Structure 1
Amino acid sequence: MSRRPDVVVVGAGAAGAVLTARLTEDSDRNVLLVDAGPIPRGKDGFGPALLDARLVPGALPNHPATTAHPVRLTPERPWLVTRGRVLGGSTTVNGGYFIRARREDFDRWAAASNPAWAYDEVLPFLRTLENDLDLGPSQLHGGQGPMRIRRGRIAHPAAVAFRDAARHLGFPADPDKNDQAPPGFGPVPSNAVDGIRLNTGLTYLPPEVLDRPNLTVLGGWQARRVVIEDGRATGVVVERDGGRATVEAGSVVLSTGALSTPHLLQLSGIGPRADLERLGIPVVRDAPAVGASFSDHPQVVLDWMPREDLDAPAESWLGGCLHLPCAEGGSDGAGTRGDLEVLQSLVPMAGLVSGAVSIPGAPLSFLASVQTPRPNGRLRIRSADPGTSPDIDYNFLSAAEDFSRLREVVRVTAALIDTPPFADISHGLLDPGPEVLNDDRALDRWIRDHLGTAQHTCGTVPMGPLDDPGRGAVDQFGRVHGVRALRVADTSILPDAPQRGPAATAVLIGEFIADAMRRGRR
């Protein structure tokens, strides 16, 4: 690139790759994309092991395409949350689940002073990003977008048994989880096609886009701080192999993810004043909402034993998926939503964490989660040294309804496994046993000991009103309040987590904010 870039995009993941591709469609805009991980070129650059949709690279400990964030799910339960560190970000290492947020999610975000995020407003972007290989173009679905979407076939014996068990218990069919029909059982819309996980690096930044003359891409450079002069972002300090450099640009967009972006803002002097002053970081913008309350989806794994070894899945690790509303709803009125999820794995958990699609004699699993938006987490900077991880507390199980909803989804999963259709292929649920399932206190202890996370963090830099800095750190177009020429474009801007996994919404964010920038909403 012969001149200073007009925009530097930090992070080439689910949203950053999308944003970069769309911005560089304007030939008069020079863009620099910086990422901490490598930038493979095309399928050959990624290699088959990373793209095999029957596996989840993010589940492998210390996978070179990931980075691990130490967190606490509860005060007694430390955890490592892995995120992608490669072109495509977490879309390269996740499960390929690509389900849209629900209408009520978008309308809830719109009501929080973000009217452009109402469902009817964002639906055109959802269509633009999508090529629905099953249903084709319509008023609901796109047919020409970069993200090729296919629903997994319900053909594997375990998936067929799950479908029949759901029918046996009276759950409705939910054949298209990307429409807004009542929740139920159905196949999983996925960006895994013909066994290949089509991440945003492949779909939005293939070699022909990477070679655009107005795009420069730097892999292996870690962003350390945004440079802000007189209230305006003018560049980014980056580091590689111990050496630092400053990249100057006309504007900066942070797309490093919901755990890294707030930390980078705090290192740059944008965050809660007291935390920054305590660490000697000059305060650029007192932004108490940065890191103050985020949400994620608590999850437990329930293992069951097949009566005989089943064939490895042909194309994806994903089986069927059941969404259902929790019976009681809780104090936040969540009972009308399909906010409980039972997701089926056709690969043993032992295989997902070891890179094998089949392990003879191993149990298979359901991933049972609560997807009610509950922004109770907190992320706080601990040191002015960018190499020191922030303190991240998910604050799961902090309310009675957290337990009641997890109890319900565990018991529904156990009931599915216990139906005659499922019993035909299964010896039954391995754990918890009936004596635990039938005792609330015992089941609560089991949940506390087996708790995990779906790794769907959102809301660490929430969009909201300028006049309420405790609720809003950016506006609805990702512009950081009080700092010119600085935006955020990743799931950190969502006020809370959607009721579905956020991968599709992350891609939407890239499309949405790129459109805002191209339309001159500066």
Structure 2
Amino acid sequence: MLSTHSDVLIVGAGSAGSVLAERLSADSARTVTVLESGPGPQQSGVAALTRNGLQLPIGAASPLVARYQTELTDNPQRVAQVVRGATVGGSGAVNGGYFCRATPADIAGWGLPGWSWDDVLAHFRAIETDLDFGDGPDHGDHGPIPVRRVRELTGSTAAFAEAAQRAGLDWLPDLNAAEALSTSVAGVGAVPLNIVDGIRTGPGAAFLERAARRPNVTVRTSTRAVGIRIDAGSATGVAVIGPDGPTTLTADRIVLCCGAIGSAHLLMLSGIGEEAQLREAGVPVTVPAPVGSHCADHPEWVLPTNWTVEPSRAVLEVVLNIHNEIEIRPYTGGFIAMIGEDGGGRPDWPHLGVALMRPRSRGRVSLVSADPAVPPRIQHRYDSVAADVEALRRGSEFARELTSAATEVGASAWATSQHLCATAPMGTDDDVRAVTDPQCRVRGVDGLWVIDGSVLPAVPSRGPNATIVMLAHRAAEFVAG
């Protein structure tokens, strides 16, 4: 019979939860339980889907994702679907393998004690084995996640890189090098990918699957957390619904790793959030906090092209970065090819993505019901700052001009990079937007941490997955301590 009490209870086996479980369970005297709402790799077909780095297993029939509706813009209202991984490894098990780091300027911008570039570089190095640059000072050569860049560019990727270099932009051989991460650099380079020889090695495979073999680790899959039990100001347990029905699991320390949507939703369901919003939803207020009130993501405009779709390639092999403000992404295939589905006779369409990497706009995740089965309302509000819209317009015109000799480019459409962060941001005592402190502890509740993209004070100016893995590797010592 599985124990209902552990030293550490980790809610969510995504990128952050997987790393935390491995790090904390290295002490054989510490019992660690990990909850995951989706299936694990031992279930039929799951490992084959998550390891195949040449496709995104996020199609309509995928058992590995959760779907949410979001409002991208307000005027006019444009809606879209947000897809998050719901399996061991989380979104890191179903994504395109982009493993670029946050920049030193991103980290410095947090303004948090214990979070300088010198503090985090060792953790970036510890999580990876960089197969291209592992012998240099910027990279690791003993970490569990292999990283490699595509060496031979073909098709649309090659055409895009050639167009960028003809326009006078530098080729950046290592987008994770100190020079490429500086704000003064503009250029095109191969994306560091945690996909090697077609195999995706996300944090679930790299960290949690190894840790799950330890006798002090219990992984409960298909088990959903629906509320945190808080007694006399301390988190003591989590109400869950699993294969055997509802129960409560208790722990000395509880860590939420459900992602920017899931962790914020669980906090609010548990009475930690904005007072008026909680009362309107019928949830008693435990701790007033600005949960979900100032989140951020990368807005993206998608431009269809007539480049030939490239099958059996990673979905994004190079990017063009302009001063860490705009990232132009020549996706290798159309969306149908990316997710490996039958298009039903519809033609596929490859495309360019133009993403704003330092957006000024801020969104909101709100509780609408005390019923855990009712998803929160998500509002990205991408059109709320005119300067953001103008930057996307300029970036799209640049992308159009850059590639005009190689492809036709159609009209742009609003999209999202699905990099939502900052729903429970870290901050100092005087930060009115902070939900967690610089050690990821939830303010006002003892024994409760949030460690995932929720606590990043802002979305990094690169895709956030590598930064979230680093965050968990760094923050494990806060929970252990």
In the superposition, the TM-score normalised over structure 1's length comes to 0.86
Report if aligned partners of 1:10, 1:253 keep a CA contact under 8 Å in 2: yes
Q: Secondary structure at the match of 1:117?
A: coil
Distance (whole Å) between structure 2 residues aligned to residue 45 and residue 513 of structure 1:
32
State the 1:46 CA deviation. Answer: 3.0
State the 1:318 CA deviation. Answer: 1.9
1:65 aligns with 2:64: yes
Residue aligning to 2:34: 33
State the 1:312 CA deviation. Answer: 2.5
* Equivalent residue letter for 1:92: A
1:505 aligns with 2:461: no
1:132 aligns with 2:130: yes
Distance (whole Å) between structure 1 residues aligned to residue 284 and residue 396 of structure 2:
48
Among 203, 210, 213, the residue aligned to 2:215: 213
Residue aligning to 2:230: 228
Q: Secondary structure at the match of 2:164?
A: helix
The superposition leaves residues 104-161 of structure 1 with CA deviations (integer Å, 9 ceiling, x where unpaired) of 100001x1xx121111211111111111011113321000011111112242132221
Report if aligned partners of 1:163, 1:320 keep a CA contact under 8 Å in 2: yes
Among 277, 280, 286, the residue aligned to 2:279: 277
Residue aligning to 2:182: none
Q: Map 1:45-444; keep pairs closer than 5 Å.
A: 46-58=46-58, 60-75=59-74, 76-109=77-110, 111=111, 114-181=112-179, 182-206=185-209, 208-240=210-242, 243-287=245-289, 289-306=290-307, 309=308, 312-313=311-312, 315-325=313-323, 338-355=324-341, 362-419=348-405, 423=406, 426=407, 428-429=408-409, 431-432=410-411
Report if aligned partners of 1:463, 1:473 keep a CA contact under 8 Å in 2: yes
Residue aligning to 1:496: 458
Distance (whole Å) between structure 1 residues aligned to residue 242 and residue 208 of structure 2:
23
Residue aligning to 1:4: 5
Report if aligned partners of 1:375, 1:496 keep a CA contact under 8 Å in 2: no
Distance (whole Å) between structure 2 residues aligned to residue 390 and residue 353 of structure 1:
26
Report if aligned partners of 2:57, 2:340 keep a CA contact under 8 Å in 1: no
In the superposition, the TM-score normalised over structure 2's length comes to 0.94
What is the percentage of aligned positions where both structures have the same residue? Answer: 36
Report if aligned partners of 1:152, 1:318 keep a CA contact under 8 Å in 2: no
Distance (whole Å) between structure 1 residues aligned to residue 4 and residue 396 of structure 2:
57
Report if aligned partners of 1:348, 1:363 keep a CA contact under 8 Å in 2: yes
Judged with a 3 Å threshold, the aligned counterparts in structure 2 of structure 1 residues 300 and 203 are, in CA distance, closer, same or farther, namely same
1:481 aligns with 2:479: no
Tell me how large the CA RMSD over aligned residues is: 2.0
Report if aligned partners of 1:55, 1:356 keep a CA contact under 8 Å in 2: no
Distance (whole Å) between structure 2 residues aligned to residue 194 and residue 301 of structure 1:
28
Judged with a 3 Å threshold, the aligned counterparts in structure 2 of structure 1 residues 49 and 270 are, in CA distance, closer, same or farther, namely closer
- Aligned length, in residue pairs: 472
Q: Secondary structure at the match of 2:26?
A: coil
Q: Secondary structure at the match of 2:260?
A: coil
Residue aligning to 1:437: none
Distance (whole Å) between structure 1 residues aligned to residue 3 and residue 404 of structure 2:
66
Distance (whole Å) between structure 2 residues aligned to residue 281 and residue 196 of structure 1:
44
The superposition leaves residues 55-78 of structure 1 with CA deviations (integer Å, 9 ceiling, x where unpaired) of 1223x2342100001111113111
Report if aligned partners of 1:68, 1:82 keep a CA contact under 8 Å in 2: yes
Report if aligned partners of 1:55, 1:355 keep a CA contact under 8 Å in 2: no
Distance (whole Å) between structure 2 residues aligned to residue 183 and residue 214 of structure 1:
48
* Equivalent residue letter for 2:214: R
Judged with a 3 Å threshold, the aligned counterparts in structure 2 of structure 1 residues 368 and 7 are, in CA distance, closer, same or farther, namely same
Bigger mean CA offset, 391-400 vs 256-265: 391-400
Q: Secondary structure at the match of 1:55?
A: coil
Q: Secondary structure at the match of 1:108?
A: helix
State the 1:375 CA deviation. Answer: 5.0
* Equivalent residue letter for 1:63: S
Distance (whole Å) between structure 2 residues aligned to residue 352 and residue 418 of structure 1:
24
Q: Secondary structure at the match of 1:227?
A: strand
Distance (whole Å) between structure 2 residues aligned to residue 153 and residue 310 of structure 1:
19
Distance (whole Å) between structure 2 residues aligned to residue 311 and residue 262 of structure 1:
38
Report if aligned partners of 2:19, 2:469 keep a CA contact under 8 Å in 1: yes
State the 1:3 CA deviation. Answer: 7.3
* Equivalent residue letter for 2:65: T
1:24 aligns with 2:25: yes
The superposition leaves residues 304-357 of structure 1 with CA deviations (integer Å, 9 ceiling, x where unpaired) of 213xx56524x42223210013xxxxxxxxxxxx21011121122232244379
Bigger mean CA offset, 8-17 vs 315-324: 315-324
The superposition leaves residues 453-479 of structure 1 with CA deviations (integer Å, 9 ceiling, x where unpaired) of 0000000001012344x3211011110
Residue aligning to 1:443: none
Q: Secondary structure at the match of 1:264?
A: helix
* Equivalent residue letter for 2:414: L
Distance (whole Å) between structure 2 residues aligned to residue 253 and residue 143 of structure 1:
29
Judged with a 3 Å threshold, the aligned counterparts in structure 2 of structure 1 residues 41 and 62 are, in CA distance, closer, same or farther, namely closer
Distance (whole Å) between structure 2 residues aligned to residue 41 and residue 156 of structure 1:
36
Distance (whole Å) between structure 2 residues aligned to residue 38 and residue 508 of structure 1:
24
Distance (whole Å) between structure 1 residues aligned to residue 7 and residue 49 of structure 2:
36
Distance (whole Å) between structure 1 residues aligned to residue 94 and residue 239 of structure 2:
27
Distance (whole Å) between structure 1 residues aligned to residue 172 and residue 28 of structure 2:
43
The superposition leaves residues 172-207 of structure 1 with CA deviations (integer Å, 9 ceiling, x where unpaired) of 22111112322410000011111011111111122x
Q: Secondary structure at the match of 2:82?
A: strand
Distance (whole Å) between structure 2 residues aligned to residue 53 and residue 380 of structure 1:
34
Unaligned runs of 5+ residues in structure 1 are 326-337, 433-446
Distance (whole Å) between structure 1 residues aligned to residue 65 and residue 154 of structure 2:
30
Residue aligning to 2:422: 459
Distance (whole Å) between structure 2 residues aligned to residue 513 and residue 171 of structure 1:
38
State the 1:260 CA deviation. Answer: 1.0
State the 1:30 CA deviation. Answer: 0.3
